[in-house]
Chain A
Amino acid sequence: MKLRLSGKIIASFSLIIIFSFISFGVNLKLSSDVNRDTEYLTKSEAIIRNSAKIHKSILEMQSNFRGYLLTENKSFLDPYYSSIKEMSGLVDEQRKLISDSPAQVARFNDIQILHNQWLKYANALIEAKFKQIDPKIISSEYEMLFEQKLRKEFGKKMTDEISNKFKEFDKTEYRVRKGRRAKLSESIAIAKQVTMLLAIITISVGVLSAFYITHIIIKRIKSMVVLADNISKGRFETIVDIEKDELSQLSDSLNVMSEKLKKSFSELDNYAYVVSHDLKVPLRGIYNLAHWMEEDYGNELSPEMHKYLDKLKGRVERMESLINGLLEYSKIGRTSQPLEEVNMNELLADIIDSTVPEDFEVRLSNNLPVIFTERLRIQQVFSNLISNAVKYKGNKSGLITITSKEVPDGFEFTVEDNGVGISPEYHNKIFGLFQTLREKHEVESTGIGLSIVKKIIEDNKGSIRVVSNEGEGASFIFKWPAIKVVMPV
């Protein structure tokens, strides 16, 4: 089964949430264990505390009882009786606390039985003592009891037995408390470990799924970025998408776009060919007709007609130049040229050879580089700039100076002439399509050359500017990003 992108995202979130719930549940269980063990421990401690209190009360009763018998001072009896009252509350509480341990209940019962026996014995003696010291009553009951019980250490045996029973009870409870304390610290340790483990698992699952999802999304997007980049460079490819998820729509659209662009670009190429062919054929016909009229009827034509035929031919040639220029202009940026090693010195020498007349002087700087670039494009730029320099020659003898300077990412070239120059108000205009500062009858000046130059340079991510004043020549300075080729020494 193939999960779509949102499915994957939801699945990983659900996984994290499930893990969070599991750790929440486990923590709840563990903390209730800890609570329970804490409660047990507290209970044990309360039992021990109560036991001590009860024992203490009993001991106090015993000592008060003895004190009274010895001193016959009734003040000993007040705490004796209040202890009895006090005890009943403590005993009830203790019974509740130990109710879940039958062994301790049995011990406690023993203690209570013994204590009750002792109370009976003590109460009998106290009553006898009352009678003995009451002058109105003559009784030998005390003496009798004294001889029968006290002298035979009847009471002491009982109190010793109670103390022993208490020792036994406390010892047992100490043991219980120790066990419960160990259990509490154990459950705390388990809670700590399990919580830590679950947190680590949850965090790992979260981090891993985040990485996974980021990875798959980035992978998909990257392929599309590459495609878009290729499209912008005129390579109309498509990407194969086997994922079929939410991003497929985007990649499908990109593919469709690429194909449509490819189609319309080929249509445009076809259109350009049709324009160049079908517009030029009738033009050539007109030109031929004018030529034949001159050739065949030259003698019969008036000078005026010769002049008009010349102008006709001139306009037809201009029309052809316009068509050629437009074609050239429309091709820039659509067809990418191969990058190759270009020796600027040789390239410029070739251009100068074919475009600059003999009466011009051309100065080339001696540090012209060898660069790695599109040969045709840099050649078009220099051809246009140099032929402009030739076209707009001034009154002085023509001089063209070409220099280069290394700048970050490329070179800055300058083509300087001493021709007619351009007034600053036209500096922005001259790079526009069909903008020429010459009159319309000029054959060569179609106003497209500098537009081509600018478009080529900007297509190559460079820039061009002009420095000129009317009558002072012109300098065209352009930046041409390119890699310098270092020649081996």
Chain B
Amino acid sequence: MKEISILLIEDDELDVISFERALKKINLPIILYTAFNGIEALELLRGKQRISIPDIIVLDLNMPKMNGGEFLAELRKDSTFNDVKIFIMTTSNEDRDRSRGDEFGVTGYIIKPLNFNENTKRNVSMDNFMHFQIMKMVGDQLN
């Protein structure tokens, strides 16, 4: 089975942990790289010890140093990353952010749940949410 590589750019450590926990449960050949902001991510993609071009980039918008929008603007200057599927995963549900994503031609826009009250009632934990989202993201790659 082909290995899938994902770069997760997310400043909230707990979201990263949740993502990793979900991946562990999925048990598929997925390699995860993580960066806490846009600068770190660009270093990973273009620096001396660069990683190979990932299949999927999961991107938070609201981050310190270099936010998601700035990162995308930088990334789009280099056509080598044109085939990478980019998913924005944010708590922001604002039209402004959505249309920004569309401008950069992202594959998906995922809203992280904030109201865990309602989620616990429906028995949806953060891990379950991540699990579901990852399955959706890699589904195409597997087939």
Interface centre among A276, A277, A284, A321 (most CB of B within 10 A): A284
Interface centre among B14, B17, B117, B126 (most CB of A within 10 A): B117
- Is B120 part of the contact surface with A, judged by Cβ < 8 Å? yes
Q: Is the Cβ of B117 less than 8 Å from the Cβ of A288?
A: no
Q: Is the Cβ of A320 less than 8 Å from the Cβ of B117?
A: yes
A295 to B126, CA, bound (A): 12
Q: Is the Cβ of A276 less than 8 Å from the Cβ of B114?
A: yes
- Is B116 part of the contact surface with A, judged by Cβ < 8 Å? yes
A281 to B116, CA, bound (A): 10
Known contacts A277-B91, A284-B126, A291-B125; is-contact A317 B120 (Cβ 8 Å): yes
Contacts of B92 in A (CB 8 A): 277
B contact residues, total (Cβ < 8 Å): 15
- Is B18 part of the contact surface with A, judged by Cβ < 8 Å? yes
B102-143 interface code vs A (CB 8 A; 1 in, 0 out):
000000000000111100100001110000000000000000
- Is B21 part of the contact surface with A, judged by Cβ < 8 Å? yes
A287 to B116, CA, bound (A): 8
A281 to B120, CA, bound (A): 16
Task: Report the minimum CB–CB distance from A348 to chain B (whole Å).
Answer: 22
Identify whether the interface residues of B are mostly helix, strand, loop, or mixed.
helix
- Is B40 part of the contact surface with A, judged by Cβ < 8 Å? no
- Is A21 part of the contact surface with B, judged by Cβ < 8 Å? no
Known contacts A277-B91, A291-B125, A292-B21; is-contact A285 B14 (Cβ 8 Å): yes
Q: Is the Cβ of B116 less than 8 Å from the Cβ of A320?
A: yes
Q: Is the Cβ of A284 less than 8 Å from the Cβ of B114?
A: yes
- Is B43 part of the contact surface with A, judged by Cβ < 8 Å? no
Task: Report the minimum CB–CB distance from A114 to chain B (whole Å).
Answer: 126
Known contacts A291-B125, A292-B21, A317-B120; is-contact A280 B14 (Cβ 8 Å): no
- Is B74 part of the contact surface with A, judged by Cβ < 8 Å? no
Q: Is the Cβ of A280 less than 8 Å from the Cβ of B114?
A: yes
Task: Report the minimum CB–CB distance from A298 to chain B (whole Å).
Answer: 14
Contacts of A292 in B (CB 8 A): 17, 21, 127
Task: Report the minimum CB–CB distance from B36 to chain A (whole Å).
Answer: 15
A281 to B114, CA, bound (A): 7
Task: Report the minimum CB–CB distance from B140 to chain A (whole Å).
Answer: 28
Task: Report the minimum CB–CB distance from B28 to chain A (whole Å).
Answer: 20
Task: Report the minimum CB–CB distance from B126 to chain A (whole Å).
Answer: 5
10 closest cross-chain pairs (CB), A and B: A285-B14, A280-B114, A288-B126, A320-B117, A317-B117, A287-B116, A284-B116, A288-B14, A291-B125, A277-B91
Other than the given A276-B114, A320-B116, A324-B117, 18 more pairs (CB < 8 A) read A277-B91, A277-B114, A281-B12, A281-B114, A284-B14, A284-B114, A284-B116, A284-B126, A288-B18, A288-B125, A289-B14, A291-B125, A292-B21, A295-B127, A317-B116, A320-B117, A321-B117, A324-B115
